[in-house]
Amino acid sequence: MTTLRELGELGLLERLLPHLSAAGGDVLIAAGEDDTAAWRERDGSVTVATCDSFIEGVHFDLDWMPPDVAGWRACALSLADLAAKAAQPAYGLVALAAPASTEASVVEGVYAGLAACAREYGLRLLGGDTTATPGPLAISVFALGRATWEPLPRFAVEPGWTLGLTGPLGGEALALAERRPTRPRPRFGELAPGCVCGDVSDGLLRELVKFRTVAGVGARIESARVPVARGASLEQALTGGEEVELLCAWPGGPRPLTVIGAFTDDGRILVDGEEREGGYEHFG
């Protein structure tokens, strides 16, 4: 008998993949290849879909975070997956589970925050589901976007591709340590065709492990080139998650991104030449 804690998120994903649909035909990106799915519509356009869950006590703490900030964050961190695929937000649904004893004003606050973020980025929230739970408050955001160019999944990267970031990391880890509510702003409009990108939702090093898992690549990065948010430590920048900044890879040539290293063919994750792993393990 193996528990999820023993298996880890990536181990679990490996066991679940046989049950999910693969890419092919109109499906461009399917399960396990990325944090998003993508398919071609009949008119030739490409739709990108993502869902993310945010759970009180795991992803946010209403003891110090106002409900509308929790709502904003749930929306923004979901939209970051669309931003990573250069997809313009279109339609969204929200599934909310809350204990019956929850103050209605808390749930209203969460929706006000969700709605403020959705409006800001053009996502129309068209409904969803509310249900009672004996567990903590949970927000699941489903979002669809229209890709402005054909998105590539993580497994498309190759050894030698350059690695870059859209902005500084570690700010969210610092804010969490200081119990300081923040409203992250997803990075739309920063990418160009041919980039393979993902948001740094589980920490920079963890994102590199995900690339290794699906594409077999290693990576070497230079810590001195990693942009660090003001006040944050290098360690927070390397391992802190819940970031809307995007980690991108491309086959070479200049891009308006901060270059931090490159993918390699040896399967190791190297920081300044030393092997490292880290980042957020969901079932740890």
Our CB check for a second copy shows the closer of 17 and 234 to be: 17
Q: Which structure tokens are listed for 262?
A: 């490159």
Contacts of 241 (CB under 8 A, 6+ apart): 172, 173, 200, 201, 202, 203, 206, 279, 280
| Cα(154)–Cα(278) distance, integer angstroms | 19
| Cα(79)–Cα(26) distance, integer angstroms | 23
Our CB check for a second copy shows the closer of 129 and 266 to be: 129
Our CB check for a second copy shows the closer of 112 and 209 to be: 112
Q: Are 261 and 221 in contact (CB under 8 A)?
A: yes
* Cβ at position 170, least distance to a second copy in Å: 22
* Cβ at position 168, least distance to a second copy in Å: 26
- Measure the N-to-C terminal CA separation of the chain; round to a whole number of Å: 17
* Cβ at position 96, least distance to a second copy in Å: 8
* Cβ at position 23, least distance to a second copy in Å: 9
* Cβ at position 277, least distance to a second copy in Å: 19
35: left (phi over 0), alpha (psi -120 to 50) or beta: alpha
| Cα(53)–Cα(67) distance, integer angstroms | 15
